[in-house]
Amino acid sequence: MTAFPCKPALLLALAALTGFAAGTALAQSAVTDGQKLAFDRGKGNCLTCHVIKGGDLPGTIGPELKDIKAKYPDRNELAAIIFDETKRNPQTMMPPFGRNRILTEQEISAIVDFLQTL
């Protein structure tokens, strides 16, 4: 029994650490998924209109997407823009990705995670 000193406190700390690592891995995968969706020409296709760090051949119909977290600290506001920008601006060129079911709410959420890293 003494060969492997498994104190409950140590076990708890270990469990907390692995839980934390899993949590960050999960958040990281949402960001990666969001970037894929945003860059995918058949999905978000955001690069057609927006310059986004890391993306190839961007268009400039919309503004460059940068410092997004500072501009939109509220992720719901950001999700709403992607869901249906015509609500804020009826004249917008940006397609209502949520309303038109181009992207699901989960996909929009992953894209929001990605945008908040820009």
Residues that bind ligand HEC (CB under 6 A): 38, 44-46, 48-50, 61-63, 65, 71, 78, 81-82, 85, 88-89, 92-95, 97, 111, 115
Nearer of residues 2 and 91 to ligand HEC, judged by Cβ: 91
Q: How many CB atoms neighbour CB 69 within 10 A?
A: 12
Nearer of residues 113 and 115 to ligand HEC, judged by Cβ: 115
Angle in degrees, CA 115, 62, 99, rounded to 5: 70
- Output the smallest distance, CB 71 to ligand HEC, in A: 6
CA distances from 18 to 12, 21, 31, 86 (A): 10, 5, 20, 43
